[in-house]
Amino acid sequence: MIKVLGPNLTPRKDGFTLLELLVAVTIFSGLMIVVLGSFSRSAFSLAGVNSLRQRSQAARGVVDTIGNDWQFLYLQNSDRSQSVNFIDNDAGFQNIQYRGFSLSTDNNRLLLLLKYPDQSTTELVRRVYELKEIGARSSVSVTEGRRCQINNQSQLIECQDLGPSSDLFPDDLAIDLVSDPTARSQFTGLLVNDASGLNPSQTGYLQVRLTVEPTELATLQPQPTCQEAPPGSCYTVSTTLNAGVVR
């Protein structure tokens, strides 16, 4: 006798069908795409945070340096006739009268006259901070003059030791000098002489604003402003330093 099995009665061996394998592979691939995508976004976000931290630390480091200098600002007699004529063609200041600090008309240079406690009574330090092009990028430089003294007859400041200009930012960072005045890096404020001439007298002050961006962004042609750059490209730090009430 011959026994015939129907199509649904065929014995089945253990294992997966091709369709089941395709479904499993598809699900696994989808999960891997989600996991890898999440990992990639996390890595990109971490890199962005580290880059922002670097810009923040660099900008705040320069602002803190200026703030530390500001503590030793040398303010002469409040009588305006005792202001000092300072001549320094290299720094962009020519025959100006000031007390303590001065600013260039383009807001790119800051001059500080300092008196440190460990120096003699007649010895001063002159520091010039400048926002300028250094190579292919804009940065902040500082030039220091030591052993400076005031000529009692001409009231000119004469510095014996003039140091080289130093770049205060690393090569991979730059400052923004192309954005509108509300965002670009600059030195502004009210000079002590101008404050003392107001009625009533006001306080002289300095406002420092530094907008930092990656060098690769600063070297694009044309260079985009911070408003045009990708979000998070620019970091701005600002501070206001008070020169004290002028009497």
Q: Are 140 and 230 in contact (CB under 8 A)?
A: no
pLDDT at 83: 55
Q: Is the pLDDT of residue 199 over 50?
A: yes
pTM: 0.75
Residue whose C-alpha is closest to residue 113's, from 121, 104, 125: 125
| 146 Ramachandran zone, left/alpha/beta (phi>0; psi -120 to 50) | beta
pLDDT at 186: 95
Q: pLDDT digits over 214-232, tens only?
A: 888 888 888 888 888 887 7
Q: Of the spans 69-78, 117-126, 185-194, which averages the highest pLDDT?
A: 185-194
DSSP 61-123: HHHHHHHHHHTTB----SSGGG-EEEEETTTTEEEEEEBSEEE-TTS-EEEEEE--TTS-TT-
| Phi, psi for 235 (deg, rounded to 5) | -130, 130
- Tell me what the mean pLDDT of segment 143-167 comes to: 81
Q: Is the pLDDT of residue 85 over 70?
A: no
Bigger pLDDT: 202 vs 152? 202
pLDDT at 80: 44
Measured torsion, CA atoms of residues 29, 35, 37, 43, in degrees rounded to the nearest 10: -150
Mean pLDDT lowest among 6-10, 70-74, 175-179? 6-10
Helix (H, G, I), strand (E, B) or coil at 138: strand
pLDDT at 100: 86
First to last CA, the chain: 127
Q: Are 181 and 227 in contact (CB under 8 A)?
A: no
What whole-number distance in Å separates Cα of residue 109 and Cα of residue 188?
Answer: 9
Q: Is the pLDDT of residue 160 over 90?
A: no
Write out the two tokens for 219. 């070297």
Q: Is the pLDDT of residue 185 over 90?
A: yes
Q: Provide CB contacts within 8 A for 164, sequence distance 6+.
A: 143
Q: Provide CB contacts within 8 A for 134, sequence distance 6+.
A: 141, 167
Q: Which residue has the tokens 């670097």?
A: 54
Other residues' Cβ atoms within 10 Å of the Cβ of residue 177? 18
Q: pLDDT digits over 167-177, tens only?
A: 999 999 999 99
Q: Is the pLDDT of residue 71 over 80?
A: yes
Q: pLDDT digits over 100-133, tens only?
A: 898 988 899 999 989 888 777 678 898 999 999 9
Greatest Cα-to-Cα distance within the chain, rounded to the nearest angstrom: 137
pLDDT at 207: 95
Would you say how long the chain is, in residues? 247
Write out the two tokens for 187. 């030195």
Residue whose C-alpha is closest to residue 234's, from 168, 138, 141: 138
pLDDT at 86: 60
pLDDT at 79: 45
Helix (H, G, I), strand (E, B) or coil at 198: coil
pLDDT at 245: 42
The dihedral through the CA atoms of 77, 80, 82, 83 has a sign that is positive
